[in-house]
Amino acid sequence: MQDKLYNYLLMLGDNSMILGHRLSELCGHGPSLETDIALTNMSLDLFGQVRSYFQYAAKLKAGDATEDSIAFLRTERNHHNALLVEQPNEDFAHVITRQYFFDQYHLLLLEQLCESKDEQINAIAHKSIKEVKYHHRFSKTWMKRLAQGTRVSHEKMQAAVTSLYPYTEELTKANAVENEMFNQGIGADLASIKSVYYEEVDGLLSNIGLQKPEEGFFYKGGKEGIHTEHFGFILSDFQYMQRTYPNMTW
What pLDDT, on the 0 to 100 scale, is given for residue 158? 98
Q: How far apart are CA 203 and CA 97, in angstroms?
A: 14
- CATH number belonging to the domain at 2-244, selected among 1.10.3720.10, 1.20.1260.10, 3.40.710.10, 1.25.40.10: 1.20.1260.10
Q: How far apart are CA 47 and CA 2, in angstroms?
A: 24
What pLDDT, on the 0 to 100 scale, is given for residue 250? 61
Residue 90 CB neighbour total at 10 angstroms: 15
Look up residue 113 and give its DSSP letter.
Answer: H
Residues 6+ apart with CB under 8 A from 38: 30, 138
CA atoms within 13 A on the CB side of 238: 28
- Nearest Cα to 19, choosing from 54, 37, 51, 44? 44
- Nearest Cα to 247, choosing from 70, 69, 47? 69
Question: What pTM, to 2 d.p., does this model score?
Answer: 0.95
Residue 25 near residue 46 (C-beta atoms within 8 A): no
Residue 167 near residue 219 (C-beta atoms within 8 A): yes
Residue 104 near residue 92 (C-beta atoms within 8 A): no
- The domain spans of the chain are 2-244
Q: How far apart are CA 232 and CA 234, in angstroms?
A: 5
What pLDDT, on the 0 to 100 scale, is given for residue 42? 96
Residue ranges of the chain with pLDDT lower than 70?
249-250
